[in-house]
Structure 1
Amino acid sequence: MADHVTVLFFAALREQVGLDSLSVAIPPHGLSVTALRHQIEGETPSIAAAFAEQPRLRVAINKTLGTFEQVVHPGDEVAFFPPMTGG
């Protein structure tokens, strides 16, 4: 039985995807952010196209900057966003 993570899209990526968020079913034991990304890309071609236009995506897990190797679990919040600069 699968549970869900909430996937958020920010900045230009949100505009390209056309969504603020998405609920994604994942296995109860979780999966890596990379595997989650591949799952989303396989299920939604428009998101795959948006991700392809942002080759240097960053990720935050539960509002903390993370890596694509990290494992996310049901109930987690995963945010994808392009690199940002500040001043």
Structure 2
Amino acid sequence: MQILYFAWLRQRTGVAEETVSPPPEVTTIGALIAWLAQRGPGHAAAFADPAQVRAALDQEMCGPDTPLGAAREVAFFPPVTGG
């Protein structure tokens, strides 16, 4: 699956995108975040506070309990505010 990082998540991970193959037990967005956080210090910093991370699964906003299913793309970004 393709993982996209935006804003400070990109800065902390050091990559804008990457292709990953999570293990079978990673079945939700929340589990994916926990798994990605273990990939190294940059990823750990990016996902240190999962409540500050928003996700989109195949370009649809989703929450941590959303099943990954056959997702092709997951994007992570900080909360967005308007003004």
- In structure 1, the gaps of 5 or more residues are none
Question: Where does residue 17 of structure 2 map in the other structure?
Answer: 21
Question: Where does residue 40 of structure 1 map in the other structure?
Answer: 36
Determine which of 42, 61, 64 is the counterpart of 2:60. Answer: 64
TM-score (norm 1): 0.79
Runs of 4+ with >6 A deviation: none
Distance 1:25 1:9, change over 3 A: same
Question: Are 2:49 and 1:50 equivalent residues in the alignment?
Answer: no
Distance 1:30 1:54, change over 3 A: closer
Identity of aligned residues (%): 35
Which structure: greater strand fraction? 1
Question: Where does residue 11 of structure 1 map in the other structure?
Answer: 7
CA RMSD of aligned residues (A): 2.2
How many residues were matched structurally?
A: 83
SS in structure 2 at match of 1:14: helix
Counterpart residue identity of residue 13, structure 2: V
- How far apart, in 1, do the equivalents of 2:53 and 2:14 lie? 17
SS in structure 2 at match of 1:79: strand
SS in structure 1 at match of 2:4: strand
- In structure 2, the gaps of 5 or more residues are none
Determine which of 75, 80, 83 is the counterpart of 1:79. Answer: 75
Summarize deviations over 1:5-63 as a string: whole Å, max 9, x none: 11110112212221111111134686101111111111222111122267411100001
